[in-house]
Structure 1
Amino acid sequence: MMSSMSLSRMLRAASVCRTMSTATKLTTVEVNDKTGIATVTLSRPPINALNVELLHDLYQSIKEIENNKSRGLILTSSNDKVFSAGLDINEMYRPDKDRARLLWTKLQDVWLALYGCALPTAAAINGHAPAGGCLLATSCEYRVILPQCRIGLNEIQLGLVPPIFCMFNFLNVLPRRVAERALVQGRIFTTEQALQIGLVDAVASSKEKAMEKCSQFIATFGQTNPLARSLTKLKFRGADLQRFESERTKELESFLEFIDHPQMQEDLGIYLEGLKKKNRN
């Protein structure tokens, strides 16, 4: 649920929009006045690593958009290379136990909010999306990715059993056999591979084009009764949401046990030291 990429150049959003909230610092929420579609932008340099604060802001942003009855939600990144690199390693290395518990609880909250969102949701994946980045993207109903990106759930390569919500996401967008193989191998897919297997719905040449495709998808529901649409969506996803709630505590305890294991802590320490050496060079 992590990455070694270090990037800093940021994109500027280009649309006619208004800011819905100024309190959130690690995500921005803007609503296009012409379409009524809200865009949530992940903005935690350099790679949108998911820490407690970013997950908290993202959850609040999703709920804010639902409460303001926008026509749909698009999730994207202010980084032009990374959508999100997944959970922040620093949150898991020698962690404070209470903060580690909060981290996983916040991740669960975000998944519930995004996967169970009443609005049409789309992801404009304008950069790499390993692990937690892929989780966010596949929680949405529609995904557009840029060329030369990589996406996938590689938790098993770190010795971590993928959480149940990772499995729900993959089974919701991929054939069962493909989903199972991808998860047990910890596969990371190229843009072309992701499109071929159906992990993403479309490829766009730029972030702007990806945003357009996402807006077009949401616009297809323009003549659909919003309540009927959302209830139908929740019927499809309801069994997943109910099962998750029944296993939520177990999943949390499994994560805490995993990161508390001495071998895992040793591996994380080696990984972080390797990152420091790379940055120095």
Structure 2
Amino acid sequence: MIDMIEHGSDIIELRIARPPLNLIDITVLKALRSALAEAEHAGYRGLMLSGVPGMFSSGVDIASLIDADRATVRAYWEQVFLVAIDMARSRLPIFAAISGHCLAAGALLAVFCDYRLMARGGWRIGLNEVQVGVALPACFQYAVRRVVGALNAERLLVFGRLLEPAQALEMGLVDELVHPANLITSTRERLQELLLMPAHGLTETRAIARRDLCEVFADMDVLPLDEFVDAFMLPETQSVLRRVVSQMRRTTLNVTSV
């Protein structure tokens, strides 16, 4: 589910490997959290988060949650919140290598990274939760706003817009566009450039720059997990999600995942 690929002694790549859509189920979430912790304990200085060619992630594996009981749904979304905490508070810089479509929960993973490179191509990236009747919690909206600004975040979230790579670059949702064949190399090079800086100054500056994000995700107990689960379980939301699952089964690209 999560491949760990070394790039020298300082950098580890965590690759989401659940083709074709790289849907995020609870197993992927737990594997990602485990890999993040392992990378920190192993002494790596930087992380890369990537997907398979043409697909970073199309979002949540909705089919695994349809008709599940509340405890199962809550356990899933608890892991989503915990991944956000782990990424927000990671002591290691995380650079995203966005290899293709990057939708909803996949885009959220990218938002929590320090820097985002995206492959040029006919991909889409965005946070389209509203299209399936889900309101992204305030803590996650905050993370989006600090990347793209308040007005752009409103446009992305309220309209559920999916952007082409050039539009995402213009909005600031991604930092660079590169040729798909060069994506991993370019991401590694950008991260290596960062790691060449004096370690103490880099660590302290990054901690100050991300302090606001760390504070928002400082305590799992104050995050709106149960409120979100209650909304997710509403009959109206479940009805829309069933239609999404039906569409997923008819198409090769899920453009409306959570």
Q: Is the 8 A contact 2:50 2:99 kept in 1?
A: yes
Residue in 1 aligned with 2:56? 83
- 2:88 aligned partner, one-letter code: Y
Q: Which residue of 1 aligns with 2:36?
A: 62
Q: Secondary structure at the match of 1:119?
A: coil
Instruction: Measure how far apart 1:163 and its partner are.
Output: 2.1
Q: 2:14 aligns with which of 40, 53, 61?
A: 40
- Establish whether residue 126 from structure 1 lines up as the match of residue 92 from structure 2: no
Q: Which residue of 1 aligns with 2:138?
A: 164
The question of 1:51 aligning with 2:25 is answered yes
Shift in Å, 1:267: 1.9
Whether the 8 Å contact between 1:155 and 1:186 is mirrored in structure 2 is yes
CA change 1:220–1:278 in 2 (3 A) is closer
Q: Is the 8 A contact 1:138 1:173 kept in 2?
A: yes
1:5-53 CA-to-partner distances (Å, cap 9, x unmatched) read xxxxxxxxxxxxxxxxxxxxx10112122x6211001012221111111
Amino acid at match of 2:235: P
Residues 241-275 of structure 1 deviation map (CA, whole Å, 9 limit, x = unaligned): 32334575552112211221112222222332333
| Equivalent residue for 1:110, pick from 66, 83, 86 | 83
* Partner deviation per Cα, 1:143-167 (whole Å, 9 max, x = no partner): 1111221111111222222123432
Matched, 1:27 2:2: yes
Between the aligned partners of 1:133 and 1:231, the Cα distance in structure 2 is 28
Letter in 1 for 2:42: N
Structure 2 stretches of 5 or more lacking a match? 253-258
Distance 2:201 2:72 in 1: 39
User: Could you report, residue by residue, the CA deviation over 1:72-103 in whole angstroms, capped at 9, with x for unpaired residues?
Assistant: 111101x2221111111123311132221111
CA distance in 2, matches of 1:254, 1:151: 27
Rate the CA distance shift 1:97–1:217 in 2: closer, same or farther, 3 A: same
Instruction: Report the counterpart of residue 179 of structure 1 in structure 2.
Output: 153
TM-score by length of 2: 0.89
Aligned-partner Cα distance in 1 for 2:214–2:168:
25
Query: Structure 2 residue aligned with 1:236, among 192, 209, 213?
Result: 209
Aligned residues: 251
How far apart, in 2, do the equivalents of 1:219 and 1:250 lie?
Answer: 34
Matched, 1:92 2:69: no
- Cα RMSD over matched residues? 2.0
Tell me what 1:192 maps to.
166
Unaligned runs of 5+ in 1: 1-25
Aligned residues of 1:82 and 1:127 also touching (Cα < 8 A): yes
SS at match of 2:3: strand
Q: Which residue of 2 aligns with 1:101?
A: 74
CA distance in 2, matches of 1:170, 1:273: 29
Secondary structure in 2 aligned to 1:200?
coil
Closer, same or farther: CA 215–149 of 1 in aligned 2, 3 Å: same
CA–CA distance in 2 between the matches of 1:42 and 1:118? 21
Of structures 1 and 2, the one scoring higher in RCO (CA 8 A, sep 6+) is: 2
Q: TM-score, normalised by structure 1?
A: 0.82
In the alignment, residue 93 of structure 1 is paired with which amino acid? Answer: I
One of 197, 204, 228 as aligned partner of 1:255: 228
Whole-Å separation in 1 of the counterparts to 2:155 and 2:246:
32
**Identity value in percent:** 27
